[in-house]
Amino acid sequence: MRMKKHALLSAISAAALIVASCGGDGSADVEIQVPDIPMHQEMGEFEGELNIVNWSGFVEPAWTDKFTADTGCKVNPRVAGTSDEMVTLMRTGQYDIVSASGDAALRLIVGGDVQPLNIELIPNFSDDIAEGMKGNVYDTVNGKPYGVPIGRGANLLQYNDTVTGGAPESWDVVWELDSPYKGKITAYDAPIYIADAAVYLMYHKPELNIKNPYALDKDQLAAAIDLLKQQNQIIGEYWSDPVAQITSFVGGNTVVGTSWEVLRKFAAQDNLKTTLPKEGSTGWFDSWLVSSSTPNINCAYAWMDYTSRPEVNGAIAVNFGMAPANTAFCKSSEEAQAHCDTFFAEDEEFFKQVWPWTTPIETCVDGRKDVMCTSFQDWTNAWATVKG
Amino acid sequence: MTDTTTNSQPRSVRRSRPVSSYLLRRPKLRLLALLALPMTWIIGVYIFSLFLLLITAFWNVDPFTSLVSPGFNLENFSLVLTNPSYIATSVRTLLIALTVTLVCIMFAVPLGIFMAKIARPWLRNTLAVAITLPLWAGYLVKIIAMRLVFTEEGFFNWAMSPIGVRGPGFSVPIVILTLTYLWFPYMALPVYTAIRQIPPNLFDASSDMGAKGFTTVWRVVIPLIVPAMIAGSVFTFSLSLGDYLAARFTGGATQMIGSIIAANINLNPPVAAAYSMVPITFVVIYLMVARRTGSLERM
């Protein structure tokens, strides 16, 4: 039901904002082939351990100790650096649960590596979860939820204010050959960055008819790749390692480029600022996904419920530097409200301009039926041709 | 035990060494026992794991899930050989590795001559320590150190600003510099040792026949240390060829062979495996050329 309503909503907003992206979802009525895996029916005894693949900062003793005391499930975290590494780790079958971003989630779902969830067993997955994080196509397939939202963040344009003298209005400073910051531009180093090129093209080349940056047919992908190749001529550095990105901005090698709010905070320089340009942007929306072969299913459900509590979800969000999924956290204190405001946690208008990372698949997630869209493998191969 | 027994004991023990005398009569078994451990290591661990990796170069990858499944196709190789960006990266990496080797030789020879023939013992020892000292620091630490030195607002630009010189920013020259810094000891040490081993009377003879210092270096020293230079270059060349962190942290947008392998190892392991054949081929060719010069025998 929620899906349908959402789809309708997105159709209306898409019609209203002809060029500006709608974000939040893009599910339309997309039917995706997934392996049939049964979901957990009722809670049983706790198994005593839980093996987690997670982003750095998601699993800390500050909140796992209480969880272990409550349930007896011992938490073994394994930090992964990229979405691709997360997928690889989950495929080993040695982990029970993963904090996947949307670009990893759909791959795991379609690959049969994770199982659909029984939301009734997760009471904290409630109305307080931010509207924009529910029912998105990256973790809700054919109406079945596979993920429990953790938090989200946008890929913002970070700039060195001393050099730029004000916020750039457009992403053109990182894409166009006549950029005044040529040679001092940074871009995210992963195939999913193709979507950022697509977002820019949606605004500036409406004739390409891109409706969703993750649903690109062959021609649209080729156009995005051309744009990325153009960018390659003016780029200073690609980043995948956050530390390298921070030192690059602080050291003056980079003036403008993709960043996360949390990286700006870590850089701790007054002249480094972030902005959301007029074209909108992409973002990462993270959820817990449970392995289809987990022997620790009850611990996994207990963990998802525990981390959906406002205070725990908030602690993770504050520690990592992102908008918490459970907005009830924002009301809990003044500090919490300040955090939520910094990261736009309750600002659905902001996140409407942000397209959540979604694995591109052959089924067009924008609802087109007459063409085949390019898959993530196509993106990976195309990405390999971008960097000279 | 009495004294007499202890006195006669050693001889009788020596005579009855069952293992030794058993092996003495069986030369093949002796050889096997000698080689068992190194062969288990080379074949069982080294070659076998490499083989397991390389075989996946022929395998398929699921277009959506990136799952690898056994099979046989040559598409990964054709991708490696036709993708312009991959070809450019192979050539670039080869040139970087060769340049690093040349720069190492250019630094190592004068330094080696100075240390072996001119420097006083205390200075020689100090220099030897200075050359090997970087080997003690972590590899990643050294790369990050180079990154910090050459950032826009880093040490290099700060130190050079009075004379108006600015560094090139992160690019291929800085990668070459970083790799030279990393692998220099592997070239400097064999070259220095080789120069030390040149008999002093060869220098006397050269000078008696009227050769000046430079001529002596060029006609006597260099030909004698070629094997050492090639031995060192095997290290500097192949280590540079396989490196990717130097490019990642000090190369800006520079890609090397390792960068592409690292980028594919999660997304498309078969392509990574196919592409790793490229540096292997380069090294094999290099070793064959080195062997032709006859210097590998004298290593």
Nearest to residue A6, comparing CAs of A364, A360, A348? A348
Residues A321, A374 share a domain: no
The predicted pLDDT at position B5 comes to 46
In this complex, the residue of A251, A377, A385 whose CB is nearest that of residue B66 is A377
Residues A114, A162 share a domain: no
Asked if residue A118 belongs to a domain, the reply is yes
- Residues of A near B (Cβ–Cβ under 8 Å) read 82, 84-85, 87-88, 91, 107, 110-111, 113, 183, 189, 191, 232, 235-238, 241, 244, 247-248, 251-253, 359, 361-362, 375-378, 380-381, 384-388
Which residues of chain B neighbour A225 with C-beta distances below 8 Å? none
* Residue numbers of the domain that contains A243: 155-282+362-383
Strands A185-188 and A235-239, how do they pair? parallel
Residues A149, A189 share a domain: no
For all residues of chain A together, what is the average pLDDT?
88
Token look-up 């590899």 returns B139
Q: What is the mean pLDDT of residues A249-269?
A: 91
Contacts of B226 (CB under 8 A, 6+ apart): B293, B295
Asked if residue A340 belongs to a domain, the reply is yes
The predicted pLDDT at position A388 comes to 72
- Confidence check: pLDDT of A200 > 50: yes
- Confidence band for B50, pLDDT divided at 50, 70 and 90: confident
CB pairs < 8 Å spanning A and B: 95
Residues A163, A147 share a domain: no
More confident residue, B66 or B89: B89
Residues A90, A216 share a domain: no
Residue of B nearest to A254 (CA): B152
Residues A290, A214 share a domain: no
Q: A307 to chain B, minimum CA–CA distance in Å?
A: 28
Residues A366, A263 share a domain: yes
Residue of A nearest to B153 (CA): A251
pLDDT tens per residue across span A55-108: 988 999 999 999 999 999 999 999 998 888 899 899 889 999 999 999 999 889
Q: A369 to chain B, minimum CA–CA distance in Å?
A: 18
The predicted pLDDT at position A311 comes to 94
The predicted pLDDT at position B137 comes to 85
Asked if residue A388 belongs to a domain, the reply is no
Residues A272, A233 share a domain: yes
CB contact under 8 A, B64 and A111: yes
The predicted pLDDT at position A110 comes to 87
Q: What is the mean pLDDT of residues A210-223?
A: 95
Residue of B nearest to A105 (CA): B65
Q: Are A166 and A237 in contact (CB under 8 A)?
A: no
Q: What is the mean pLDDT of residues A156-177?
A: 95
- Confidence band for A229, pLDDT divided at 50, 70 and 90: very high
Asked if residue A124 belongs to a domain, the reply is yes
pLDDT tens per residue across span B125-145: 999 999 888 888 888 899 999
CB contact under 8 A, B266 and A237: no
* The residue type at A13: S
Which residues of chain A neighbour B172 with C-beta distances below 8 Å? none
pLDDT tens per residue across span A293-322: 999 999 999 999 999 999 999 999 999 989
Asked if residue A299 belongs to a domain, the reply is yes
- CA dist B95 and B100 (Å) reads 8
The predicted pLDDT at position B24 comes to 81
Structural domains in chain B? Answer: 84-292 (1.10.3720.10)
* The residue type at A94: Q
Residue of B59, B62, B64, B149 best to disrupt the A interface, most CBs of A under 10 A? B64
Q: What is the mean pLDDT of residues A24-40?
A: 72
The predicted pLDDT at position B18 comes to 80
Residues A115, A90 share a domain: yes
| CATH number reported for the structural domain that contains residue A247 in this entry | 3.40.190.10
Residue of B nearest to A189 (CA): B263
The predicted pLDDT at position B253 comes to 85
Q: A265 to chain B, minimum CA–CA distance in Å?
A: 20
The predicted pLDDT at position A23 comes to 38
pLDDT tens per residue across span A122-159: 999 888 889 889 888 888 888 889 999 999 999 999 99
Number of compact structural domains in chain A: 2
Asked if residue A120 belongs to a domain, the reply is yes
Residues A292, A177 share a domain: no
Asked if residue A131 belongs to a domain, the reply is yes
Asked if residue A307 belongs to a domain, the reply is yes
Alpha helices in chain B (DSSP H): 3-15, 18-24, 27-39, 48-55, 75-82, 84-113, 121-136, 139-150, 155-160, 172-196, 200-208, 213-216, 222-242, 245-250, 257-267, 269-275, 277-292
- Is the ipTM above a cut-off of 0.95? no
Residue of B nearest to A245 (CA): B249
Residues A349, A376 share a domain: no
- Confidence check: pLDDT of B146 > 70: yes
pLDDT tens per residue across span B35-48: 888 888 888 888 88
Residues A27, A147 share a domain: yes
